[in-house]
Amino acid sequence: MGIENICCRTLVGTLAVLLATPPIAGANAPQTVQLGILTPPAGTAPRINGARVFGVRPGHPILWRLPVTGKRPMRLAAEGLPPGATFDSTSGVLGGAVSKRGTYPIVFTAENGEGHAKRVLKLVVGEKIALTPPMGWNSWNRFNFKVTQKDIKAAADAMVSSGLADHGWTYVNIDDFWQNNPYRFKDDPTLQGAERKPDGTINPNARFPDMKGLAGYIHAKGLKAGLYSSPGPYTCGMCTGSWGHEWQDARTWAEWGYDYVKYDHCTYGKKGFRKGMFSHKGVGAGLDGATLPYRLMGEALRAQKRDIVFSLCQYGMHNVSTWGANVGGNCWRTAGDIKDSFAKMIGNLDRQAGLWPYAGPGAWNDPDMLVVGILGIPSKGVGMTEPHPCTLTRNEQYTHISMWSILCAPLLIGCDLAKLDDFTLALLTNDEVLETNQDELGAQAALVAKGPRAQVWAKPMHDGSLVFALFNTHEETTRICIDYDSLGLEGKWLVRDLWRQKDEGIFGIRYSVEVPGHATHLVRLFPKDDARLAEGVADIRMNSVYIQFEERRPVGKPGRKAPKSYPCERCDK
Ligand code: GAL
CATH number for the domain including 90?
Answer: 2.60.40.10
Give CA–CA dist 215/115, Å, rounded.
Answer: 35
pLDDT reported for residue 572: 35
Final residue of a domain: which of 438, 467, 500? 438
Q: Which atom of ligand 1 is nearest to the CA of 239?
A: 12
Measured in angstroms, how far is the CA atom of residue 337 from the centroid of ligand 1?
7
Does residue 165 lie in a domain region? yes
- Whether 176 lines ligand 1, by a CB cut-off of 6 Å, is yes
Average pLDDT for residues 151-155, to the nearest whole number? 98
- Whether 559 lines ligand 1, by a CB cut-off of 6 Å, is yes
CATH number at residue 312: 3.20.20.70
Nearest CA to ligand 1 atom 11: 236
Of residues 477 and 546, more confidence is placed in 477
Final residue of a domain: which of 72, 107, 125? 125
Question: Do both 265 and 399 map to the same domain?
Answer: yes
Does residue 149 lie in a domain region? yes
Q: Which atom of ligand 1 is nearest to the CA of 265?
A: 7
Residue type, 157: D
Q: Which atom of ligand 1 is nearest to the CA of 237?
A: 12
Mutate to test the pocket of ligand 1, among 141, 144, 176 (most ligand atoms within 8 A of CB): 176
* Residue 386: exposure state from Cβ atoms within 10 A (0-12, 13-18, ≥19): exposed
pLDDT reported for residue 261: 99
pLDDT reported for residue 504: 98
- Whether 138 lines ligand 1, by a CB cut-off of 6 Å, is no
- Whether 237 lines ligand 1, by a CB cut-off of 6 Å, is yes
Question: Do both 8 and 54 map to the same domain?
Answer: no
- Whether 175 lines ligand 1, by a CB cut-off of 6 Å, is yes
Does residue 517 lie in a domain region? yes
pLDDT reported for residue 272: 54
Q: Which atom of ligand 1 is nearest to the CA of 368?
A: 9
Annotated catalytic residue within 264, 366, 439, 483:
264
Does residue 542 lie in a domain region? yes
- Whether 316 lines ligand 1, by a CB cut-off of 6 Å, is no
What confidence tens digit (pLDDT) does each residue in 452-491 have? 899 999 999 999 999 999 999 999 999 999 999 888 999 9
Does residue 569 lie in a domain region? no
Measured in angstroms, how far is the CA atom of residue 366 from the centroid of ligand 1?
13
- Whether 241 lines ligand 1, by a CB cut-off of 6 Å, is no
Mean pLDDT estimate for the chain: 89
pLDDT reported for residue 349: 96
Question: Do both 429 and 517 map to the same domain?
Answer: no
SS3 annotation, 343-396: HHHHHHHHCCCCCHHHCECCEEEECCCECCCEECCCCCCCCCCCCEECCCCHHH
pLDDT reported for residue 9: 32
pLDDT reported for residue 66: 98
Residue 307 is among the residues annotated as catalytic for this protein: no
- Whether 483 lines ligand 1, by a CB cut-off of 6 Å, is no
Give CA–CA dist 409/403, Å, rounded.
Answer: 9
Does residue 564 lie in a domain region? no
Does residue 112 lie in a domain region? yes
CB atoms within 10 A of CB 240: 24
- Whether 264 lines ligand 1, by a CB cut-off of 6 Å, is yes
Question: Do both 433 and 450 map to the same domain?
Answer: no
Mutate to test the pocket of ligand 1, among 240, 320, 557 (most ligand atoms within 8 A of CB): 557
DSSP string, 36-84: ---SPPP-SS-EE-S-SEEEE-TTSPP-EE--EESSSS-EEEEE-PPTT
- Whether 396 lines ligand 1, by a CB cut-off of 6 Å, is no
Residue 249 is among the residues annotated as catalytic for this protein: no
Question: Do both 285 and 238 map to the same domain?
Answer: yes
Question: Do both 470 and 399 map to the same domain?
Answer: no
Question: Do both 361 and 455 map to the same domain?
Answer: no
Percent of the chain, pLDDT > 70? 87
With a cut of 80, say whether residue 436 has pLDDT above it. yes
* Residue 569: exposure state from Cβ atoms within 10 A (0-12, 13-18, ≥19): exposed
CATH number at residue 453: 2.60.40.1180
Percent of the chain, pLDDT > 90? 80
Question: Do both 203 and 350 map to the same domain?
Answer: yes
Most confident of 5-9, 182-186, 559-563: 182-186
Question: Do both 116 and 151 map to the same domain?
Answer: no
Annotated catalytic residue within 337, 340, 366, 368:
337
With a cut of 70, say whether residue 377 has pLDDT above it. yes
Structural domain that includes position 537: 3-31+446-550
pTM for the complete prediction?
0.91
Number of domains in the chain: 3
Average pLDDT for residues 87-95, to the nearest whole number? 98
Question: Do both 483 and 529 map to the same domain?
Answer: yes
Question: Do both 430 and 458 map to the same domain?
Answer: no
- Whether 313 lines ligand 1, by a CB cut-off of 6 Å, is yes
**What residues contact residue 247 under an 8 Å CB cut-off, 6+ apart?**
300, 303
Q: Which atom of ligand 1 is nearest to the CA of 337?
A: 8
Does residue 108 lie in a domain region? yes
Question: Do both 352 and 414 map to the same domain?
Answer: yes
Of residues 226 and 270, more confidence is placed in 226
Q: Which atom of ligand 1 is nearest to the CA of 313?
A: 8
CB atoms within 10 A of CB 451: 20
Measured in angstroms, how far is the CA atom of residue 236 from the centroid of ligand 1?
6
Nearest CA to ligand 1 atom 5: 236
